[in-house]
Structure 1
């Protein structure tokens, strides 16, 4: 269910009037503090339960009471006021803070609701700026109508985000929100079948178990379960071939369960997904039990990524993601903050829909390009070198232990050569007056591109192997990229073409103003 837009933000948020948070705000602050201090509190509780020497059972309650006082204190000392061009936030009593946040500096408005938020009709609001390590303001919590009114007010007043100029120069209000993508439940189920979120969570749980439990205890547990499973399989089969089939069935069942878990995670996160363009801002709303609503100006989008794996092609779907110039730090909430951001414009959508979203938002009418330029003719040889060194080294290790049987690993080389040739044949790049784009991959395909006005730096790189092959690579920096993002780079280009692109774009970046 889509959250309705407030009709009149000024009626809910009058100017020059300081306002408090919701009266239940202290409860959510308390729950957040309890999550941070749950480990020491649990140690106090369990330590007291194991001792018989008159250990005061009420000692942990002192810690909880202190957190309650801190939470209520934060609620009582937090105020915010709506001014004409800024938001003023006051907090603290002994150490007072007055923070003035211009609307034009707010790049992302994130509204988040857990199940408890929804039951109480409130929401948490986070105001983020570009490049910050934490939100400019975090309001736990506001009534849902006030949260939506604040989002609309920032959208209306932030650097002319809601008005455009008519041909005669008269400001004209832009049209109401337009839905660019809405995912049905079946589409979200497809996303769960395609993604590996369930496998990632299971692998993380296993890794955490090895960290929490003693290694010997974890090893014994796995051995015992393995023996039990093998004995259970032996009861149904007597020959080794039958036992192998039973084992394969067990593995297949485990994979099906993991995939079902991925579907469940996708439903929890992306149910009711809706992408809307409201003036010059984009808004994404999603979630089954907890709902999140994130809004960001279109101009903050720095780079684009389209991904298409094997399962994507099976369902004729793609994923469209973006890099935005917004806060990426941590304030104690871990990766949950990153999940609230507007990262995936289209978690799953047909290729034509993804291309239409790019043309609409990035204003690139010629997307996708048709004149992709090929890589260096010997690019496939450069690609296969890594597999060659790794395969030969692995075979040498195997031969040390298994004699000539280790040489069977060399059978992997023909497949590596085939993949490298396919990758090099399909890869390409485009550099024109509007954008820089690169496509890579054969088995799993990726398109990565950015507008020229969003580029911050250009770098020419050439490794010793590249010099031997007479090729080079051109790397680009954009705001919003991080270590987990696929870099924007043109690899394995002829040296002359790479040098020409580097020189041309260096001049173009210096001439153009940075659009962010």
Structure 2
């Protein structure tokens, strides 16, 4: 099947304001979406013959949902005008929603395996605020979805003016873009080995087992326990054999988690491409389910570079961004987030320099934290060690004092964290770095800062430290310059406050 990145979007019919319907099979996808919560009870009832009989009412609800799905298809219309998308819906209570192209911050095109079989896609038009998309179309023909994305990309960048082509006349060259990053299969395999996504499958398996506990035979766990007792009752392994068996079980579990992580990485990131279309960035990925999301570069609010221990072993990093695209967490996950799930350090730095012209990245010099910052970083480990020692002494007596051996390690790690941590602020960027085993760089443009806060806890007062919190729109967490000398923090707060006050907010 031709992928969206390879397809050249044809002119979108209806660009002159003519009303258009969804795809004729859209009612089926709406029905399946509404029936998702009834799938597990129906499968249990049909195939296992167990469960409460009131679940038969789920079958009655299917007919009602089918009527609603067909109703929605028959009453849904959308039009493409010169400067907006207009959506009409409803039968008895009609509504009209007009979404200007300039307010559309993210265009998400979603294709599940069933979508791909019908060559259709679900399209979501999202803005920077609100808990749901400004417009959601289930479903459009794939060619229409890509053409609509091209129209939003072109019309959202420049206002309509005399002499410009009609909104629906997307030129053929608009479908292509400059490829900034493409992940080959070998890189996706490395991503799977580095990540711990396999734990998601393990957690899901435990959750499913918990849900199906009521339909499993009542004595299934009793039988397993009896078999284990019978085995160990007739076989008495020694200490070395037991240790070897435990080590083998742990190794097998770790290998299973890594294998699951590789499979999930292949499913989620197969064919990953980061493209630049003028002022917009487009990310496309997925093996069975394809996801294509597009957002303006100016909506990026904060940047995060991550490098864990396994990243360093493979010589790779991860580049994520926070963008002002939606109000709730689910929409933020669907938005533009991962610019480089895995890439070499210089490739990540090159992406930052390309997308932030004129920015000095990485900074030429990092300023250190307060000289006693290591003490603050060691405090959680110290409290944990004493609490654990007290609990073990209560149960085991003097042997519990062995837990205090954690103290030297906590101090050692804290000193290394403090030595590597630092911050840098110039005319364009504010950045902070942290971590030792797992390293992290987080930075934002000063033009994107919305609020500044200088914080001091009682311990900060006692040690002469302070922390600067720098907030941006849509960021998952504020940028924190932690454990700075108090005078330095106050001077930096005053400087950034002046810069933010005199610069217009760009988001």
Give TM-score, length-normalised by structure 1: 0.89
Which residue in 2 is equivalent to 1:267?
Answer: 266
Aligned match of 2:439 in 421, 445, 449?
A: 445
Which residue in 1 is equivalent to 2:24?
Answer: 23
Which residue in 1 is equivalent to 2:179?
Answer: 179
Deviation by residue 1:408-444 (Cα, 9 ceiling, x = unmatched): 0011111111100000001010011101000000010
Which residue in 2 is equivalent to 1:383?
Answer: 377
Say whether the 8 Å CA contact 1:267–1:288 is kept in structure 2.
Answer: yes
Which residue in 2 is equivalent to 1:282?
Answer: 281
Mapping for residues 206-225 of structure 1, pairs under 5 Å: 206=206, 209-210=209-210, 213=213, 225=224
Say whether the 8 Å CA contact 1:78–1:89 is kept in structure 2.
Answer: yes
Q: Is 1:99 equivalent to 2:90 in the alignment?
A: no
Say whether the 8 Å CA contact 1:5–1:148 is kept in structure 2.
Answer: no
Deviation by residue 1:478-515 (Cα, 9 ceiling, x = unmatched): 11123xx4x31000000001011111111211211111
Aligned match of 2:80 in 79, 82, 92?
A: 82
- The offset of 1:365, in angstroms, is 3.9
- The offset of 1:5, in angstroms, is 6.1
- The offset of 1:341, in angstroms, is 2.2
Deviation by residue 1:7-45 (Cα, 9 ceiling, x = unmatched): 565454432100000000000000001014446767987
- The offset of 1:3, in angstroms, is 2.0
Say whether the 8 Å CA contact 2:359–2:428 is kept in structure 1.
Answer: no
- The offset of 1:389, in angstroms, is 1.5
Mapping for residues 341-490 of structure 1, pairs under 5 Å: 341-482=335-476, 485=477, 487-490=478-481
Pick which of 178-187 and 237-246 moved more. 237-246
Partners of 1:65 and 1:436 in 2: CA distance: 57
Partners of 2:131 and 2:18 in 1: CA distance: 29
Deviation by residue 1:39-80 (Cα, 9 ceiling, x = unmatched): 6767987999779xxx89985443211111000000000000
Deviation by residue 1:147-202 (Cα, 9 ceiling, x = unmatched): 00000000000032999xxxxxxxxx999511111001111111111111111331
From the superposition, tell whether residues 207 and 31 of structure 1 become closer, same or farther in structure 2 (CA, over 3 Å): closer
Deviation by residue 1:243-265 (Cα, 9 ceiling, x = unmatched): 21022112211110111001101
Q: Is 1:514 equivalent to 2:483 in the alignment?
A: no
Which residue in 1 is equivalent to 2:165?
Answer: none
Partners of 1:195 and 1:343 in 2: CA distance: 17
- The offset of 1:211, in angstroms, is 6.7
From the superposition, tell whether residues 79 and 506 of structure 1 become closer, same or farther in structure 2 (CA, over 3 Å): same
Say whether the 8 Å CA contact 1:9–1:153 is kept in structure 2.
Answer: no
Which residue in 2 is equivalent to 1:170?
Answer: none
Aligned match of 2:142 in 122, 144, 162?
A: 144
Q: Is 1:505 equivalent to 2:506 in the alignment?
A: no
SS of 1:158 mapped into structure 2: helix
SS of 2:459 mapped into structure 1: helix
Partners of 2:404 and 2:203 in 1: CA distance: 30
SS of 1:312 mapped into structure 2: helix
Say whether the 8 Å CA contact 1:188–1:271 is kept in structure 2.
Answer: yes
Which residue in 2 is equivalent to 1:168?
Answer: none
From the superposition, tell whether residues 471 and 223 of structure 1 become closer, same or farther in structure 2 (CA, over 3 Å): farther
Q: Structure 2: which 5+ runs fail to align?
A: 162-172
From the superposition, tell whether residues 509 and 465 of structure 1 become closer, same or farther in structure 2 (CA, over 3 Å): same
Say whether the 8 Å CA contact 1:6–1:149 is kept in structure 2.
Answer: no
Say whether the 8 Å CA contact 1:453–1:513 is kept in structure 2.
Answer: yes
Which residue in 2 is equivalent to 1:70?
Answer: 68
Pick which of 506-515 and 418-427 moved more. 506-515
- The offset of 1:203, in angstroms, is 2.9
Partners of 2:23 and 2:80 in 1: CA distance: 16
Say whether the 8 Å CA contact 1:453–1:515 is kept in structure 2.
Answer: yes
From the superposition, tell whether residues 222 and 402 of structure 1 become closer, same or farther in structure 2 (CA, over 3 Å): farther
Partners of 2:248 and 2:50 in 1: CA distance: 45
Say whether the 8 Å CA contact 1:21–1:139 is kept in structure 2.
Answer: yes
SS of 1:246 mapped into structure 2: helix
Which residue in 1 is equivalent to 2:168?
Answer: none
Which residue in 1 is equivalent to 2:167?
Answer: none
SS of 2:302 mapped into structure 1: strand
- The offset of 1:238, in angstroms, is 3.4
Partners of 2:437 and 2:412 in 1: CA distance: 11
Mapping for residues 249-260 of structure 1, pairs under 5 Å: 249-260=248-259
From the superposition, tell whether residues 297 and 252 of structure 1 become closer, same or farther in structure 2 (CA, over 3 Å): same
Pick which of 340-349 and 145-154 moved more. 340-349
Say whether the 8 Å CA contact 1:131–1:327 is kept in structure 2.
Answer: yes
Deviation by residue 1:75-99 (Cα, 9 ceiling, x = unmatched): 0000000100111000001111100
Q: Structure 1: which 5+ runs fail to align?
A: 164-172
From the superposition, tell whether residues 6 and 246 of structure 1 become closer, same or farther in structure 2 (CA, over 3 Å): closer
SS of 1:16 mapped into structure 2: coil
From the superposition, tell whether residues 231 and 313 of structure 1 become closer, same or farther in structure 2 (CA, over 3 Å): farther
From the superposition, tell whether residues 65 and 308 of structure 1 become closer, same or farther in structure 2 (CA, over 3 Å): same
Give TM-score, length-normalised by structure 2: 0.90
SS of 2:35 mapped into structure 1: helix
Partners of 1:221 and 1:339 in 2: CA distance: 39
- The offset of 1:103, in angstroms, is 0.1
SS of 1:514 mapped into structure 2: coil
